[in-house]
Protein backbone atom coordinates (compact mmCIF):
# COMPACT_ATOMS: atom_id res chain seq x y z
CA UNK A 1 0.00 0.00 0.00
CA UNK A 2 1.08 3.55 -0.71
CA UNK A 3 1.17 6.05 2.15
CA UNK A 4 -2.49 6.59 2.94
CA UNK A 5 -5.16 7.67 5.44
CA UNK A 6 -8.42 6.09 6.52
CA UNK A 7 -11.41 6.31 8.84
CA UNK A 8 -12.80 3.69 11.22
CA UNK A 9 -16.61 3.63 11.07
CA UNK A 10 -18.68 0.46 11.37
CA UNK A 11 -21.65 0.20 8.96
CA UNK A 12 -24.10 0.25 11.89
CA UNK A 13 -22.94 3.85 12.51
CA UNK A 14 -23.53 5.11 8.96
CA UNK A 15 -25.89 8.11 8.79
CA UNK A 16 -29.12 8.68 6.88
CA UNK A 17 -30.82 5.40 7.69
CA UNK A 18 -33.76 5.00 10.08
CA UNK A 19 -32.53 2.11 12.24
CA UNK A 20 -28.89 1.45 11.41
CA UNK A 21 -26.56 1.83 8.45
CA UNK A 22 -27.07 -0.44 5.44
CA UNK A 23 -25.34 -1.68 2.29
CA UNK A 24 -27.47 0.70 0.21
CA UNK A 25 -27.42 4.50 -0.07
CA UNK A 26 -25.80 4.99 3.38
CA UNK A 27 -22.72 2.95 2.35
CA UNK A 28 -22.63 4.39 -1.19
CA UNK A 29 -22.84 7.96 0.08
CA UNK A 30 -20.07 7.30 2.61
CA UNK A 31 -17.72 5.89 -0.04
CA UNK A 32 -18.41 8.77 -2.38
CA UNK A 33 -17.60 11.27 0.38
CA UNK A 34 -14.34 9.48 1.22
CA UNK A 35 -13.33 9.60 -2.43
CA UNK A 36 -14.34 13.24 -2.79
CA UNK A 37 -12.08 14.29 0.08
CA UNK A 38 -9.11 12.06 -0.82
CA UNK A 39 -9.44 9.52 2.01
CA UNK A 40 -8.25 6.14 0.75
CA UNK A 41 -9.29 3.52 3.34
CA UNK A 42 -12.57 2.59 5.05
CA UNK A 43 -12.04 0.38 8.10
CA UNK A 44 -14.89 -1.36 9.93
CA UNK A 45 -15.46 -4.11 12.49
CA UNK A 46 -16.46 -7.71 11.59
CA UNK A 47 -19.46 -7.73 9.24
CA UNK A 48 -20.90 -10.84 10.94
CA UNK A 49 -24.19 -10.93 12.89
CA UNK A 50 -23.75 -9.53 16.43
CA UNK A 51 -24.54 -11.19 19.74
CA UNK A 52 -27.46 -10.07 21.91
CA UNK A 53 -25.41 -7.12 23.23
CA UNK A 54 -24.60 -5.89 19.72
CA UNK A 55 -20.98 -7.11 19.59
CA UNK A 56 -19.78 -8.37 16.19
CA UNK A 57 -16.81 -10.04 17.94
CA UNK A 58 -19.01 -12.75 19.47
CA UNK A 59 -21.09 -13.72 16.48
CA UNK A 60 -23.59 -16.60 16.29
CA UNK A 61 -22.36 -17.23 12.74
CA UNK A 62 -18.92 -16.03 11.72
CA UNK A 63 -19.29 -16.78 7.98
CA UNK A 64 -22.53 -14.84 7.59
CA UNK A 65 -23.27 -11.14 7.07
CA UNK A 66 -25.15 -9.13 9.69
CA UNK A 67 -28.76 -9.06 8.38
CA UNK A 68 -29.22 -5.56 9.87
CA UNK A 69 -27.19 -4.28 6.90
CA UNK A 70 -29.76 -5.34 4.29
CA UNK A 71 -31.10 -2.29 2.45
CA UNK A 72 -34.82 -2.52 1.76
CA UNK A 73 -34.88 0.42 -0.67
CA UNK A 74 -32.44 -1.43 -2.93
CA UNK A 75 -34.58 -4.58 -2.63
CA UNK A 76 -37.61 -2.61 -3.84
CA UNK A 77 -35.58 -0.99 -6.64
CA UNK A 78 -34.36 -4.40 -7.83
CA UNK A 79 -37.85 -5.93 -7.81
CA UNK A 80 -37.46 -8.24 -4.79
CA UNK A 81 -39.98 -6.42 -2.61
CA UNK A 82 -43.17 -4.47 -3.28
CA UNK A 83 -42.90 -0.71 -2.96
CA UNK A 84 -45.90 -0.37 -0.64
CA UNK A 85 -44.27 -2.20 2.29
CA UNK A 86 -44.82 -0.65 5.68
CA UNK A 87 -41.72 1.02 7.15
CA UNK A 88 -40.39 -0.13 10.50
CA UNK A 89 -38.97 2.82 12.41
CA UNK A 90 -38.85 4.24 15.90
CA UNK A 91 -40.93 7.10 17.24
CA UNK A 92 -38.22 7.85 19.79
CA UNK A 93 -36.07 10.77 18.60
CA UNK A 94 -33.27 9.77 21.00
CA UNK A 95 -32.73 6.61 18.97
CA UNK A 96 -31.38 8.67 16.07
CA UNK A 97 -28.06 8.67 17.93
CA UNK A 98 -28.22 4.95 18.84
CA UNK A 99 -28.96 1.72 17.04
CA UNK A 100 -32.05 0.06 18.52
CA UNK A 101 -31.07 -3.63 18.47
CA UNK A 102 -34.62 -4.84 19.11
CA UNK A 103 -36.00 -2.75 16.26
CA UNK A 104 -33.19 -3.90 13.95
CA UNK A 105 -34.07 -7.55 14.65
CA UNK A 106 -37.79 -6.90 14.11
CA UNK A 107 -37.00 -5.35 10.76
CA UNK A 108 -34.99 -8.44 9.72
CA UNK A 109 -37.90 -10.77 10.58
CA UNK A 110 -40.27 -8.56 8.60
CA UNK A 111 -37.97 -8.46 5.55
CA UNK A 112 -37.43 -12.22 5.67
CA UNK A 113 -41.18 -12.91 5.57
CA UNK A 114 -41.71 -10.33 2.81
CA UNK A 115 -38.87 -11.71 0.67
CA UNK A 116 -40.24 -15.27 0.92
CA UNK A 117 -43.75 -14.04 0.10
CA UNK A 118 -42.55 -12.21 -3.02
CA UNK A 119 -40.11 -14.96 -4.11
CA UNK A 120 -42.72 -16.91 -6.09
CA UNK A 121 -43.04 -13.91 -8.43
CA UNK A 122 -39.33 -13.97 -9.38
CA UNK A 123 -38.35 -15.31 -12.78
CA UNK A 124 -36.54 -18.59 -13.40
CA UNK A 125 -33.19 -16.91 -14.14
CA UNK A 126 -33.12 -15.17 -10.77
CA UNK A 127 -34.10 -18.37 -8.98
CA UNK A 128 -31.38 -20.32 -10.76
CA UNK A 129 -28.77 -17.67 -9.84
CA UNK A 130 -29.86 -17.96 -6.20
CA UNK A 131 -29.74 -21.78 -6.23
CA UNK A 132 -26.25 -21.83 -7.73
CA UNK A 133 -25.01 -19.34 -5.13
CA UNK A 134 -26.51 -21.37 -2.25
CA UNK A 135 -24.82 -24.57 -3.40
CA UNK A 136 -21.41 -22.83 -3.39
CA UNK A 137 -21.74 -21.62 0.24
CA UNK A 138 -20.55 -24.54 2.36
CA UNK A 139 -21.51 -22.67 5.57
CA UNK A 140 -25.00 -21.52 4.58
CA UNK A 141 -27.07 -24.59 5.44
CA UNK A 142 -25.66 -24.83 8.98
CA UNK A 143 -26.06 -21.07 9.45
CA UNK A 144 -29.72 -21.02 8.43
CA UNK A 145 -30.65 -24.15 10.40
CA UNK A 146 -28.86 -22.81 13.48
CA UNK A 147 -30.49 -19.35 13.33
CA UNK A 148 -33.97 -20.81 12.81
CA UNK A 149 -33.60 -23.40 15.59
CA UNK A 150 -32.38 -20.63 17.84
CA UNK A 151 -35.50 -18.58 17.09
CA UNK A 152 -37.79 -21.58 17.66
CA UNK A 153 -36.07 -22.30 20.98
CA UNK A 154 -36.58 -18.80 22.44
CA UNK A 155 -32.99 -17.76 21.66
CA UNK A 156 -31.60 -20.28 24.13
CA UNK A 157 -27.99 -21.42 23.53
CA UNK A 158 -27.75 -24.58 21.43
CA UNK A 159 -26.75 -26.83 24.36
CA UNK A 160 -30.15 -26.11 25.95
CA UNK A 161 -32.12 -27.16 22.86
CA UNK A 162 -33.82 -30.58 22.65
CA UNK A 163 -31.04 -33.16 22.50
CA UNK A 164 -31.73 -34.30 18.93
CA UNK A 165 -31.02 -30.77 17.72
CA UNK A 166 -28.32 -29.87 20.23
CA UNK A 167 -26.29 -32.93 19.21
CA UNK A 168 -26.45 -32.01 15.51
CA UNK A 169 -28.17 -35.27 14.56
CA UNK A 170 -28.19 -35.12 10.76
CA UNK A 171 -31.10 -37.52 10.35
CA UNK A 172 -33.30 -35.54 12.75
CA UNK A 173 -32.22 -32.26 11.12
CA UNK A 174 -33.11 -33.59 7.64
CA UNK A 175 -36.67 -34.31 8.81
CA UNK A 176 -36.91 -30.95 10.54
CA UNK A 177 -35.75 -29.13 7.39
CA UNK A 178 -38.69 -30.55 5.40
CA UNK A 179 -41.10 -28.93 7.86
CA UNK A 180 -39.32 -25.57 7.86
CA UNK A 181 -38.55 -24.90 4.20
CA UNK A 182 -40.08 -21.41 4.09
CA UNK A 183 -38.26 -20.27 7.21
CA UNK A 184 -34.92 -21.57 5.92
CA UNK A 185 -35.55 -19.95 2.54
CA UNK A 186 -35.96 -16.65 4.37
CA UNK A 187 -32.54 -16.97 6.05
CA UNK A 188 -30.91 -17.97 2.75
CA UNK A 189 -32.50 -15.09 0.84
CA UNK A 190 -31.33 -12.59 3.46
CA UNK A 191 -27.73 -13.79 3.06
CA UNK A 192 -27.91 -13.87 -0.74
CA UNK A 193 -29.19 -10.31 -0.93
CA UNK A 194 -26.53 -9.16 1.53
CA UNK A 195 -23.94 -10.80 -0.71
CA UNK A 196 -25.38 -9.03 -3.77
CA UNK A 197 -25.52 -5.65 -2.07
CA UNK A 198 -22.01 -5.88 -0.59
CA UNK A 199 -20.63 -7.02 -3.96
CA UNK A 200 -21.99 -3.78 -5.39
CA UNK A 201 -20.37 -1.77 -2.57
CA UNK A 202 -17.08 -3.60 -3.17
CA UNK A 203 -17.17 -2.71 -6.88
CA UNK A 204 -17.97 0.93 -6.09
CA UNK A 205 -15.07 1.14 -3.63
CA UNK A 206 -12.72 -0.31 -6.23
CA UNK A 207 -13.89 2.16 -8.88
CA UNK A 208 -13.42 5.05 -6.44
CA UNK A 209 -9.95 3.84 -5.42
CA UNK A 210 -10.90 3.14 -1.82
CA UNK A 211 -9.57 0.10 0.04
CA UNK A 212 -11.93 -1.82 2.35
CA UNK A 213 -10.27 -2.85 5.62
CA UNK A 214 -12.09 -5.64 7.49
CA UNK A 215 -11.67 -7.41 10.80
CA UNK A 216 -11.88 -11.02 11.98
CA UNK A 217 -11.93 -12.19 15.61
CA UNK A 218 -9.41 -14.88 16.56
CA UNK A 219 -11.91 -17.02 18.50
CA UNK A 220 -15.55 -17.79 17.79
CA UNK A 221 -18.47 -17.86 20.22
CA UNK A 222 -19.47 -21.15 21.82
CA UNK A 223 -23.09 -20.30 21.01
CA UNK A 224 -22.53 -20.23 17.26
CA UNK A 225 -23.28 -22.24 14.16
CA UNK A 226 -19.51 -22.67 13.83
CA UNK A 227 -19.09 -24.58 17.11
CA UNK A 228 -22.48 -26.32 17.00
CA UNK A 229 -21.76 -27.88 13.60
CA UNK A 230 -17.98 -28.40 14.00
CA UNK A 231 -17.52 -29.12 17.69
CA UNK A 232 -14.67 -31.59 17.09
CA UNK A 233 -12.56 -28.58 16.07
CA UNK A 234 -13.07 -26.90 19.46
CA UNK A 235 -12.42 -27.67 23.12
CA UNK A 236 -15.95 -29.00 23.71
CA UNK A 237 -16.73 -32.19 25.64
CA UNK A 238 -19.36 -34.68 24.48
CA UNK A 239 -21.71 -33.22 27.13
CA UNK A 240 -21.29 -29.78 25.44
CA UNK A 241 -19.19 -28.30 28.27
CA UNK A 242 -16.02 -26.34 27.47
CA UNK A 243 -12.91 -28.03 28.84
CA UNK A 244 -10.49 -25.23 27.89
CA UNK A 245 -11.55 -21.61 27.44
CA UNK A 246 -9.93 -18.45 26.11
CA UNK A 247 -8.62 -15.34 27.82
CA UNK A 248 -5.42 -13.54 28.76
CA UNK A 249 -3.29 -13.86 31.92
CA UNK A 250 -3.18 -11.51 34.92
CA UNK A 251 -1.23 -8.30 34.30
CA UNK A 252 -0.76 -4.73 35.56
CA UNK A 253 -4.35 -3.88 34.62
CA UNK A 254 -6.09 -6.96 36.04
CA UNK A 255 -5.03 -9.16 38.96
CA UNK A 256 -7.20 -12.03 37.72
CA UNK A 257 -6.61 -11.61 33.97
CA UNK A 258 -9.42 -11.59 31.43
CA UNK A 259 -11.76 -14.54 30.99
CA UNK A 260 -13.36 -14.46 27.53
CA UNK A 261 -15.09 -17.83 27.71
CA UNK A 262 -14.77 -18.93 24.07
CA UNK A 263 -13.71 -22.52 23.47
CA UNK A 264 -10.10 -22.63 22.29
CA UNK A 265 -9.14 -24.49 19.13
CA UNK A 266 -8.34 -28.18 19.16
CA UNK A 267 -5.33 -27.60 16.97
CA UNK A 268 -4.55 -31.29 16.41
CA UNK A 269 -7.89 -31.71 14.62
CA UNK A 270 -7.31 -28.60 12.50
CA UNK A 271 -3.86 -29.83 11.55
CA UNK A 272 -5.20 -33.26 10.55
CA UNK A 273 -7.56 -31.50 8.14
CA UNK A 274 -4.82 -29.20 6.76
CA UNK A 275 -6.48 -26.25 8.55
CA UNK A 276 -9.35 -26.37 6.07
CA UNK A 277 -11.84 -24.58 8.35
CA UNK A 278 -9.41 -21.72 9.12
CA UNK A 279 -8.49 -21.33 5.47
CA UNK A 280 -12.12 -21.22 4.39
CA UNK A 281 -12.87 -18.67 7.08
CA UNK A 282 -10.08 -16.30 6.04
CA UNK A 283 -10.88 -16.84 2.36
CA UNK A 284 -14.52 -15.94 2.99
CA UNK A 285 -13.51 -12.68 4.70
CA UNK A 286 -10.98 -11.77 2.02
CA UNK A 287 -13.73 -12.07 -0.61
CA UNK A 288 -15.35 -9.13 1.16
CA UNK A 289 -12.39 -6.79 1.76
CA UNK A 290 -8.98 -5.75 0.45
CA UNK A 291 -7.16 -6.45 3.70
CA UNK A 292 -8.06 -7.88 7.05
CA UNK A 293 -7.11 -7.25 10.66
CA UNK A 294 -6.58 -10.48 12.62
CA UNK A 295 -7.68 -9.77 16.18
CA UNK A 296 -5.55 -11.17 19.05
CA UNK A 297 -2.75 -12.08 16.65
CA UNK A 298 -0.50 -13.17 19.52
CA UNK A 299 -2.62 -16.33 19.92
CA UNK A 300 -1.27 -17.58 16.59
CA UNK A 301 2.08 -18.04 18.34
CA UNK A 302 0.80 -19.24 21.75
CA UNK A 303 -2.54 -18.94 23.56
CA UNK A 304 -3.66 -18.72 27.19
CA UNK A 305 -5.76 -21.81 27.97
CA UNK A 306 -7.98 -21.69 31.09
CA UNK A 307 -9.74 -24.70 32.63
CA UNK A 308 -13.35 -24.76 31.46
CA UNK A 309 -14.98 -24.49 34.88
CA UNK A 310 -12.82 -21.59 36.13
CA UNK A 311 -14.44 -18.20 36.74
CA UNK A 312 -11.21 -16.18 36.35
CA UNK A 313 -8.17 -16.42 34.07
CA UNK A 314 -5.65 -16.88 36.91
CA UNK A 315 -5.10 -20.64 36.55
CA UNK A 316 -4.51 -20.63 32.82
CA UNK A 317 -1.36 -21.77 31.07
CA UNK A 318 0.37 -21.12 27.75
CA UNK A 319 0.05 -23.61 24.92
CA UNK A 320 1.71 -23.35 21.49
CA UNK A 321 -0.25 -22.53 18.32
CA UNK A 322 0.59 -23.66 14.76
CA UNK A 323 0.74 -20.08 13.53
CA UNK A 324 3.64 -20.67 11.13
CA UNK A 325 1.80 -23.52 9.41
CA UNK A 326 -1.45 -21.56 9.17
CA UNK A 327 0.17 -18.38 7.81
CA UNK A 328 2.24 -20.38 5.30
CA UNK A 329 -0.91 -22.03 3.94
CA UNK A 330 -2.83 -18.75 3.90
CA UNK A 331 0.04 -17.08 2.04
CA UNK A 332 -0.07 -19.86 -0.54
CA UNK A 333 -3.88 -19.55 -0.80
CA UNK A 334 -3.49 -15.79 -1.38
CA UNK A 335 -0.97 -16.20 -4.19
CA UNK A 336 2.13 -15.28 -2.19
CA UNK A 337 1.05 -12.00 -0.57
CA UNK A 338 -0.82 -12.00 2.74
CA UNK A 339 -3.29 -9.08 3.01
CA UNK A 340 -3.46 -9.45 6.81
CA UNK A 341 -2.78 -6.94 9.59
CA UNK A 342 -1.62 -8.18 12.99
CA UNK A 343 -3.49 -6.81 16.00
CA UNK A 344 -0.37 -6.96 18.14
CA UNK A 345 -1.35 -4.71 21.05
CA UNK A 346 -0.57 -5.39 24.70
CA UNK A 347 2.35 -7.39 26.05
CA UNK A 348 3.90 -9.04 22.99
CA UNK A 349 6.87 -11.41 23.04
CA UNK A 350 9.78 -11.49 20.62
CA UNK A 351 8.41 -14.77 19.20
CA UNK A 352 5.12 -13.06 18.31
CA UNK A 353 7.01 -10.17 16.72
CA UNK A 354 9.11 -12.62 14.69
CA UNK A 355 5.99 -14.42 13.45
CA UNK A 356 4.50 -11.09 12.38
CA UNK A 357 7.71 -9.92 10.70
CA UNK A 358 8.50 -13.25 9.00
CA UNK A 359 5.25 -12.88 7.06
CA UNK A 360 5.71 -9.11 6.55
CA UNK A 361 2.45 -8.25 8.29
CA UNK A 362 1.80 -4.67 9.35
CA UNK A 363 1.36 -4.12 13.08
CA UNK A 364 -0.62 -1.52 15.02
CA UNK A 365 0.37 1.55 17.04
CA UNK A 366 -2.11 3.40 19.28
CA UNK A 367 -1.26 7.01 20.14
CA UNK A 368 -3.43 6.95 23.27
CA UNK A 369 -0.94 4.41 24.69
CA UNK A 370 2.12 6.55 23.93
CA UNK A 371 2.34 9.23 26.61
CA UNK A 372 3.20 7.52 29.90
CA UNK A 373 6.54 9.31 30.50
CA UNK A 374 8.62 6.39 29.20
CA UNK A 375 10.92 7.60 26.40
CA UNK A 376 11.21 4.01 25.12
CA UNK A 377 7.44 3.63 24.79
CA UNK A 378 6.99 1.86 21.40
CA UNK A 379 3.83 3.88 20.67
CA UNK A 380 5.60 7.27 20.79
CA UNK A 381 5.61 8.80 17.30
CA UNK A 382 9.40 9.17 17.23
CA UNK A 383 9.79 5.46 18.08
CA UNK A 384 7.83 4.37 15.01
CA UNK A 385 10.97 3.91 12.93
CA UNK A 386 9.70 2.28 9.74
CA UNK A 387 6.57 2.36 7.59
CA UNK A 388 5.06 -1.13 8.07
CA UNK A 389 2.65 0.08 10.75
CA UNK A 390 -0.90 1.30 11.01
CA UNK A 391 -1.14 4.19 13.46
CA UNK A 392 -4.41 5.05 15.22
CA UNK A 393 -5.50 7.75 17.62
CA UNK A 394 -7.52 4.97 19.28
CA UNK A 395 -9.58 1.92 18.30
CA UNK A 396 -13.20 0.88 18.84
CA UNK A 397 -12.22 -0.36 22.33
CA UNK A 398 -10.68 2.96 23.43
CA UNK A 399 -12.13 6.21 24.68
CA UNK A 400 -12.63 8.88 22.06
CA UNK A 401 -9.53 11.08 22.03
CA UNK A 402 -11.40 13.93 23.71
CA UNK A 403 -12.69 11.52 26.38
CA UNK A 404 -9.15 10.18 26.84
CA UNK A 405 -7.77 13.70 27.32
CA UNK A 406 -10.39 14.60 29.91
CA UNK A 407 -9.58 11.49 31.97
CA UNK A 408 -5.79 12.01 31.82
CA UNK A 409 -3.68 13.28 34.73
CA UNK A 410 -1.82 16.58 34.45
CA UNK A 411 1.68 15.06 34.13
CA UNK A 412 0.72 13.07 31.06
CA UNK A 413 -1.18 16.02 29.62
CA UNK A 414 1.99 18.07 29.84
CA UNK A 415 3.85 15.60 27.59
CA UNK A 416 1.27 16.07 24.88
CA UNK A 417 0.98 19.84 25.31
CA UNK A 418 4.64 20.12 24.27
CA UNK A 419 3.60 18.69 20.88
CA UNK A 420 0.46 20.79 20.44
CA UNK A 421 0.06 23.95 18.36
CA UNK A 422 -2.56 25.26 20.78
CA UNK A 423 -1.35 24.29 24.24
CA UNK A 424 -4.42 25.61 26.04
CA UNK A 425 -7.18 23.96 24.03
CA UNK A 426 -6.98 20.26 23.27
CA UNK A 427 -9.02 18.74 20.47
CA UNK A 428 -8.81 15.33 18.83
CA UNK A 429 -7.21 17.04 15.84
CA UNK A 430 -4.02 17.54 17.85
CA UNK A 431 -3.64 13.75 18.06
CA UNK A 432 -4.78 13.26 14.44
CA UNK A 433 -2.04 15.63 13.23
CA UNK A 434 0.61 13.79 15.28
CA UNK A 435 -0.47 10.47 13.76
CA UNK A 436 -0.63 11.81 10.21
CA UNK A 437 2.98 13.01 10.51
CA UNK A 438 4.42 9.60 11.49
CA UNK A 439 6.36 7.36 9.09
CA UNK A 440 3.62 4.71 9.18
CA UNK A 441 2.19 3.81 5.78
CA UNK A 442 -1.38 4.08 7.05
CA UNK A 443 -3.00 6.37 9.60
CA UNK A 444 -6.57 5.77 10.77
CA UNK A 445 -8.84 7.72 13.11
CA UNK A 446 -12.31 6.76 14.33
CA UNK A 447 -15.00 9.07 12.93
CA UNK A 448 -15.78 10.25 16.46
CA UNK A 449 -12.33 11.87 16.59
CA UNK A 450 -12.86 13.78 13.36
CA UNK A 451 -15.93 15.28 15.06
CA UNK A 452 -14.06 15.84 18.36
CA UNK A 453 -16.75 13.92 20.27
CA UNK A 454 -16.56 12.93 23.94
CA UNK A 455 -17.10 9.52 25.52
CA UNK A 456 -20.86 9.68 25.11
CA UNK A 457 -20.04 8.63 21.55
CA UNK A 458 -17.59 5.89 22.50
CA UNK A 459 -18.39 2.68 20.62
CA UNK A 460 -17.31 0.08 23.19
CA UNK A 461 -15.97 -0.03 26.74
CA UNK A 462 -14.52 -3.52 27.38
CA UNK A 463 -15.76 -5.19 30.54
CA UNK A 464 -19.13 -3.39 30.45
CA UNK A 465 -22.45 -4.30 28.84
CA UNK A 466 -24.36 -0.98 28.78
CA UNK A 467 -24.51 1.37 25.76
CA UNK A 468 -21.92 -0.48 23.68
CA UNK A 469 -21.89 -0.94 19.88
CA UNK A 470 -24.86 1.37 19.35
CA UNK A 471 -23.45 4.83 18.52
CA UNK A 472 -24.32 6.18 15.07
CA UNK A 473 -24.05 9.37 13.06
CA UNK A 474 -27.41 11.09 12.95
CA UNK A 475 -26.97 12.63 9.50
CA UNK A 476 -24.40 13.30 6.82
CA UNK A 477 -24.58 17.05 7.40
CA UNK A 478 -22.20 19.93 6.72
CA UNK A 479 -20.37 19.34 10.01
CA UNK A 480 -19.50 15.78 8.89
CA UNK A 481 -18.50 16.91 5.40
CA UNK A 482 -16.33 19.74 6.76
CA UNK A 483 -14.57 17.28 9.08
CA UNK A 484 -13.94 14.89 6.18
CA UNK A 485 -12.56 17.74 4.05
CA UNK A 486 -10.27 18.88 6.89
CA UNK A 487 -9.03 15.30 7.32
CA UNK A 488 -8.42 14.85 3.60
CA UNK A 489 -6.57 18.19 3.39
CA UNK A 490 -4.33 17.23 6.32
CA UNK A 491 -3.64 13.83 4.73
CA UNK A 492 -2.61 15.55 1.49
CA UNK A 493 -0.35 17.94 3.39
CA UNK A 494 1.28 14.92 5.07
CA UNK A 495 1.70 13.25 1.65
CA UNK A 496 -0.96 10.61 2.31
> Which residues does the annotation mark as catalytic?
295, 343, 397
Total length of the chain: 496
CB–CB of 295/343 below 8 Å? Answer: yes
- Dihedral angle sign, alpha carbons of residues 277, 282, 288, 293: positive
Q: How far apart are CA 372 and CA 488, in angstroms?
A: 30
Amino acid sequence: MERNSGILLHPTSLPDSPICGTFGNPARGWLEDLAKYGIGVWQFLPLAPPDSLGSPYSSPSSFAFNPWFLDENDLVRDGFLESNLKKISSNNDDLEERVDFKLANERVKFLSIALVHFWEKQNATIKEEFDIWCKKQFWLDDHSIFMELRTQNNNLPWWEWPEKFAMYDKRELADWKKDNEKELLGHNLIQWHLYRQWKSIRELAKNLGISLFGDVPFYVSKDSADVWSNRSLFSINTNSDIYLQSGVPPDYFSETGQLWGNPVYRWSRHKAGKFKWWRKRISRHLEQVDFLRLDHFRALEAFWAIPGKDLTAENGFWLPSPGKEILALLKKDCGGLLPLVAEDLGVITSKVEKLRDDYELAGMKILQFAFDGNLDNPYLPENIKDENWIVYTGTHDNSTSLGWWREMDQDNKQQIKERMFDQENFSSWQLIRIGMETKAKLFIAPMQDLLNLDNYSRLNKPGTIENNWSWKLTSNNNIVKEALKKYGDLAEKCKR
